[in-house]
Amino acid sequence: MIKVNFLGPIGLDSIELESKNFAELRKKLQNIESLKNWLPLCAVALNDEIIKDTSNITFKDNDVISLLPPVCGG
């Protein structure tokens, strides 16, 4: 089981789900209508570390994935 945090203006509560890797997770998250526009824009962190290449990562139990949307500063 992994935990997914949605940060900033995404505005969703964290969820826990079963997923083996980022490709599987992405498919599951695309089924959430309010996330469809956010997913292509977000940076991704695994256990508080930004991940640039998600293709070769396999999740472990209790991993925490965070979706970080772009931030506009003033």
* pLDDT, tens only, 64-74: 999 999 875 54
List of domains in the chain? 2-68 (3.10.20.30)
* pLDDT, tens only, 17-57: 999 999 999 999 999 999 999 999 999 999 999 999 999 99
Q: Once rounded to an integer, what is the mean pLDDT over residues 57-63?
A: 97
The pLDDT, as a whole number, for residue 71 is 76
Partner residues linked to 64 by β-bridges: 3
Please name which of 55, 30, 56, 58 lies closest in space to residue 67, comparing C-alpha atoms: 30
H or E element in which residue 37 lies: none
